[in-house]
Amino acid sequence: MIYTELSSCCVRNHLKCRMSQPICMYFNTRNGCKNGDRCKFVHQKIDFLGRSKCRNYRGPGTCKYYDNCFFRHEESETDILATQLQNLVISDITNDERYAKEAVVVMDIFPKMTRDLVHDIIHPTDLFHMLQNISIRNTFSQKEKEMVDSLVSNGYNECDVDFIYKIVWQYLPKPRRGWQTFPENSDLSIGDDLQRIYLRSKLFYSRPRVEILGEEFTAWFKEFKDMAKRIDIFLQKQADETYLCKISNIESNKFDESYIETCIKKARNIEDMQVSSTCRRNETSINLYIGRSGRTCLDRITKGGSGVEMMNLIVTGKIKEKEVAEKFLKATSRENPFQTEIEDIQPNRIVLVMKVEGKAFQSKEQFYEEMLKFLINGLISEGENEFPNLVIDTVIIGFVDRITLENPPIPKELVKYAQRAEGYNLFLSISLNRKFELKFQDDEYLDIWDCTILNKKMVFADSKGLLIYDTTNDATNYIPLSEKPRYVTAIANDTIAVSSEWAWDIKIISLKTNHVSRTIKTSGCCYGISFYDNKLYAAFKNGSKVDVQVIDRESNNEYQKRNVVPIVSDSVRYITVNGDKLFYTAESILYCFDLNGKIQWQFSDDKYSCLLGVTSDGKGNAFVSCLNAHAILLVSGGGKKCREILNRSSALTFPRGIHFAKDDNLLLICNKTGKVSMVDAR
């Protein structure tokens, strides 16, 4: 009996100990706990090491969530051993194999990447019709004409990187540093990455020798994989189809001798480098190579062609890059037949753009003679040579002359193409900055609907008034209102507008006085409101009719009703206006209109049946809160692309209000009970 009582007591104590802080077993999974705040177990975040291993992860690029995956990306002992063996293989590979691996990426992966990216921006049939101008077609080679003719029947499958780059550049966002310069590591737009693909391909094909050092090989493949990751996310590639996975496999897999030989032969044949001339002076040898594309340019020059020929001059060897670059630039004058500009400077390598007048030379021999003089003056110092027995390789290849269409796309079309490219590299970094819970002074129940940010203050619309949280001193203020406020938007540094679904008006409130400064009458029950470009936009419903009223704020802070923007649905909740686009949610649909009331696109998905708060980055992309999925969605690509940037695995439940502060790249999210998330979105 005593034993039974003791044992029962132990069991009770043990259960009490276990149940004192039980952790929900579903909370830390990707789909989260379906009970949300009603769950009786503790929703406690498990640290990285405490998480389960990702079942999809088999190495870089194998999990479609990449670094945003909630589960632990960790290799098993077998995987670690295999990776170590692969690293030994990578460190032990020969020059020939390194060259072959880069050749596969440049000849196979790069063209596929380029075709996929461009197809997502401009349809090949549209491009085909744009290229039917006779004067444009006459500039194409026979091979390029065949590529154009194949656009309708075979899409971009027959097009190479040079041709796509030559034609499509004017439909893409301009690279940050222009179309003739290598992008820096921080340049990450779609134009920058297409520029990388083109210039890296050109540099690879222009190598005079099959010689790639291990450090250069590692650096190039890192750049390839970083670029592939951005492209995979933009194209929404499945885990087993990612370019990152393919490039990682190329880097680590062992190539057999016959395959290496085939890759080298195929790559070398593209430019078919030939030594045209050599010279030696002051213990320095200069080799001048001319590629296939360079020889084509030279033929046009010596045949008395009109106009200016563009070529690339690539110098590699032990050189003082900046000093040599200055010499080349100083040598550029009207009398000099070679007009040069610096395209890129890297350790032991300079890339120049060279312009040559079409009638400057009568023969190839004359061209070689003048070119060697030009190279000697720029590369060989008159004093003592610091690098005895130095060999410098110089390569001349053709420069892809980008074509500007005689009938270029009209501004409206350019906007359309730009919008398709905007989603590229869109908010790759989403990280939780801070989480906190709003508290009312009497610990009363909160019913938060909307939020906004202005002048270091966060304003939340509660069913009984406005809750103002000051981020500078962590203080909270409350402004009671008689009508139930639902929607809020910032007007100025200390002024906000508030609307309620039960009232036919909008209240303008000063945060300095905490009082209503004026009331604007509307033509129906007022729903979502948004302030943009000195105009207040208010969605209202009168009977079954739903429209958006535009109200001008004049210089004397008076408000005048202007036009009405009609919308297509019979219901509306939240709206936002930014970047000349009006977004609004209606049940399970997100709509995007222009400011004249013309629909641009709409988004819906069966998984997301209750869309509420909406905010925009000003570039045509929208963040939307989804109540039923407990998620924040990023909708881009004209409504065709959607991804969850936050969900239950981030401890997010029942989100409602959402606001994006563009200047700070800060996303503010609130739920019904006052739980607030601040997210860095870059």
CATH number of the domain encompassing residue 622: 2.120.10.30
Helix or strand run (H / E) with residue 364: helix 364-379
What's residue 46's pLDDT?
52
What's residue 10's pLDDT?
42
Same domain, 131 and 202: yes
Structural domain range at position 30:
2-68
Q: Is 81 part of any domain?
A: no
Q: Which of 198-207, 384-393, 445-454 has the lowest mean pLDDT?
A: 384-393
pLDDT average, residue stretch 594-616: 91
The fraction of the chain above a pLDDT of 90, given in percent, is: 13
Q: What is the pLDDT of residues 215-233, one digit of tens each?
A: 888 888 888 888 888 888 7
| CA dihedral for 46, 51, 56, 57, sign (positive or negative) | positive
Q: Is 84 part of any domain?
A: no
Cα separation values, 342 from 119, 287, 288, 325, Å = 32, 20, 19, 7
Q: Is 666 part of any domain?
A: yes
Same domain, 633 and 487: yes
What's residue 285's pLDDT?
82
Same domain, 194 and 282: no
Same domain, 293 and 226: no
Same domain, 242 and 318: no
From 532, 536, 495, select the one nearest 513 (Cα to Cα): 495
Same domain, 442 and 591: yes
pLDDT band at 6 (very low <50, low <70, confident <90, very high): very low
Strand order in the sheet with 390-398: 274-281, 284-290, 390-398, 308-316, 349-357, 338-346
0.85 surpassed by pTM? no
Give strand ranges (E) for 282-418. Answer: 284-290, 308-316, 338-346, 349-357, 390-398
More confident residue, 410 or 360: 360
Same domain, 439 and 495: yes
DSSP letters of 334-351? SSSSEEEEEEEEETTEEE
Q: What is the pLDDT of residues 283-295, one digit of tens each?
A: 778 888 888 888 8
Return left, alpha or beta for 299; rule: phi > 0 is left, psi -120 to 50 is alpha, else beta.
Answer: alpha
Q: Is 73 part of any domain?
A: no
Q: Is 85 part of any domain?
A: no
Phi, psi for residue 314 in degrees, rounded to 5: -115, 125
Strands 390-398 and 284-290: parallel
What's residue 676's pLDDT?
92
What's residue 27's pLDDT?
57
Same domain, 665 and 516: yes
Q: Which of 295-304, 408-417, 597-606 has the lowest mean pLDDT?
A: 408-417
What's residue 118's pLDDT?
81
Same domain, 440 and 500: yes
pLDDT average, residue stretch 173-195: 78
What's residue 254's pLDDT?
83
Same domain, 391 and 458: no
Strand order in the sheet with 487-492: 487-492, 495-499, 505-510, 515-521
From 236, 194, 664, 171, select the one nearest 423 (Cα to Cα): 236
| DSSP H helices in 236-307 | 243-252, 257-271, 292-302
Return the CATH number at 375. Answer: 3.30.70
Same domain, 674 and 564: yes
Q: Is 76 part of any domain?
A: no
pLDDT band at 360 (very low <50, low <70, confident <90, very high): confident
What's residue 58's pLDDT?
56
What's residue 64's pLDDT?
54
> Any bridge partners for residue 123, and if so which?
none
Question: Hey, what are 403's tokens?
Answer: 């074509």
Give me the number of domains the chain comprises: 4
Look at residue 372 and tell me whether its pLDDT is greater than 50.
yes
The fraction of the chain above a pLDDT of 70, given in percent, is: 77
Look at residue 171 and tell me whether its pLDDT is greater than 60.
yes
What's residue 16's pLDDT?
37
pLDDT band at 8 (very low <50, low <70, confident <90, very high): very low
**Rounded-to-integer distance, Cα 340 and Cα 159, Å:** 30
Look at residue 499 and tell me whether its pLDDT is greater than 50.
yes
Q: Is 77 part of any domain?
A: no
Q: Which of 48-62, 177-191, 244-258 has the lowest mean pLDDT?
A: 48-62
What's residue 152's pLDDT?
83
| DSSP H helices in 49-189 | 77-92, 95-104, 110-119, 124-130, 134-137, 142-149, 151-154, 161-168
pLDDT average, residue stretch 621-643: 88
Q: Is 89 part of any domain?
A: no
Same domain, 206 and 301: no
Other residues' Cβ atoms within 10 Å of the Cβ of residue 360: 17
- Check: CB of residue 416 under 8 Å from CB of residue 665: no
Q: Which of 73-82, 215-224, 487-496 has the lowest mean pLDDT?
A: 73-82
